[in-house]
Amino acid sequence: MLVAAAQLSPIFLDREATVERAIGAIHEASARGARLIVFPEAFIPGYPMWVWFIPSGDTHGLRALYVELLRQAVSVPDETTERLCRAARDARMFVVIGVNERNREASNTSLFNSVLFIDADGHLLGTRRKLVPTSGERLVHAMGDGSTFRTYDTALGRLGALICWENYMPLARHALYCGGLDVLATPTWDRGEPWISTLRHVAKEGRVYVVACGNAVRIADVPDRLAFKALIEPDDDGWVNPGDSAIVDPDGKFVTGPCHGVQEIVYGEIDPDKVTGPRWQLDVGGHYSRPDVFRLLVNRERQEQMAMTDESGAAFRAVPDPSSPHSR
């Protein structure tokens, strides 16, 4: 079964153009015979890389960029999600894509670092919000809750995602393993060592396929109109982030990659039997766990900003719960 990682640059801070690039990649991968495509972290409308270059006290600069990012962000659902779902349906592809997501259920002016899961019938299976924004990302992104933390039953096997440094959260990994994870998507901004070693570790620990998709961004991909561009120090070849996307098998061996310093769609074959076979030796979500000694509690309750009541006093949500019957 062929899968793909879209190691591409967004059209930075341009939602419509980035969606067009994503749709083109979906159809290109489908034409090659791929069944799944994974896009980078915060791909639409671009990872807020300025948090690593602009001092946190530069309120004026950070506010201006936040306004622009919010304006180009994704609400779930909206026209952007509908277009992506149509593309997945037309291409008969499973899609995992990183977005900057507005909190439409409350103020509509906070952002989450999220991934969308779309099936080959064009259904939006669900949205995963990153649990903990890392370091400078906290200047932009809010924290997700456990209500979106799950795996999805698909024709590819159980599909889940950990976003960038969530892969360093042992309990988050274990929760997905216990959810029957077979294929792990890891959209990321990270690259190089030890990140590449992390991908191999996670694959072997969980006996899962890891489809890791990094942001491949050159300095030329950052618009000249953005003042923080002058603060970026690319490498000698002009890369701000060289990507390092990879596909890793359940024995921790590379199927493809890591692919360094190129903007392209990366492909690799996965075999479901290579998930179950190695678990004869090690199944950390099954026989290799010790629930009599260690036990994990996952709070899947949605954390509401506000609840409404009707005339009887019964509480109900202001916005419908997006939880999907396809997940567990």
Query: Is 220 a domain residue?
Result: yes
Burial 178-195 (b: 16+ CB within 10 A, else e): bbebbbbbbbbbbbeeeb
**Mean pLDDT, the chain, integer:** 94
CA distances from 48 to 54, 70, 100, 134, 138 (A): 11, 11, 9, 12, 11
Token pair recorded at residue 197: 């070693």
- Over residues 260-288, the pLDDT tens digits come to 999 999 999 999 889 999 999 999 999 99
Q: Which CATH number characterizes residue 90's domain?
A: 3.60.110.10
Peptide bond into 48 cis (omega under 30): no
* Within-domain flag for 87: yes
Average the pLDDT over 131-147 and give the result.
96
Length of the chain in residues, anyone? 328
Q: At what angle do helices 15-31 and 79-91 cross, to 10 degrees?
A: 10
The set of catalytic residues is 41, 130, 164
Residue 326, pLDDT > 50, answer: no
Q: Comparing 67 with 148, which gets the higher pLDDT?
A: 67
Number of domains within the chain: 1
Contact of 187 with 98, CB cutoff 8 Å: yes
Task: Measure the CA–CA gap between 260 and 245, rounded to whole angstroms.
Answer: 7
Residue 313: predicted pLDDT: 67
* 70 pLDDT higher than 70: yes
Mean per-residue pLDDT, 122-145: 97
Whether 318 shows a pLDDT value over 60: the answer reads: no
Residues 108, 164: Cα–Cα separation, whole Å: 25
Reported as a pLDDT band with limits 50, 70 and 90, residue 76 is very high
In a domain, 328, yes or no: no
Q: Which domain holds residue 276?
A: 2-317
The C-alpha atoms of residue 316 and residue 319 are separated, in whole angstroms, by 9
> Is 322 inside any structural domain?
no
Indicate whether 294 belongs to any domain: yes
DSSP lists the bridge partners of residue 309 as 315
Alpha helices (H) along the chain: 15-31, 59-71, 79-91, 170-178, 195-206, 273-276
318 or 132, which is more confident: 132
Q: Is the pLDDT of residue 244 over 60?
A: yes
- Residues whose CB is less than 8 angstroms from the CB of residue 67 and which lie 6 or more positions away in sequence, other chains included: none
Of all residues in the chain, the percent with pLDDT exceeding 70 is 95
Asked whether residue 196 is assigned to any structural domain, the reply reads yes
Question: Is pLDDT above 60 for 320?
Answer: no
Residue 323 belongs to a domain: no
Q: Give the model's confidence band at 129: pLDDT under 50 very low, under 70 low, under 90 confident, else very high.
A: very high
User: Is 119 among the domain residues?
Assistant: yes
* CB distance 18 to 25 below 8 Å: no
Can you state the angle between helices 195-206 and 170-178, rounded to 10 degrees? 30
CA pair distance 91, 75, nearest whole angstrom:
23
Question: Looking at residue 306, what is its pLDDT?
Answer: 80
Least confident window among 89-93, 147-151, 199-203, 319-323 = 319-323
Distance CA 96, CA 301 (A): 23
Residue 127 confidence (pLDDT) above 70: yes
The DSSP line for 12-66 is: TT-HHHHHHHHHHHHHHHHHTT-SEEE--TTTBT---GGGGTS-TT-HHHHHHHH
Q: Which two structure tokens, joined as six digits, stand for 293?
A: 């000694």
**Helix (H/G/I), strand (E/B), else coil: 96:** strand
Examine the pLDDT at 25 and tell me if it is beyond 50: yes
| Average confidence (pLDDT) over 128-152 | 95
Side-chain half-sphere CA neighbours of 153 within 13 A:
5
* Terminal Cα-to-Cα distance of the chain (whole angstroms): 24
Contact between residue 114 and residue 88 where contact means Cβ atoms under 8 Å apart: no
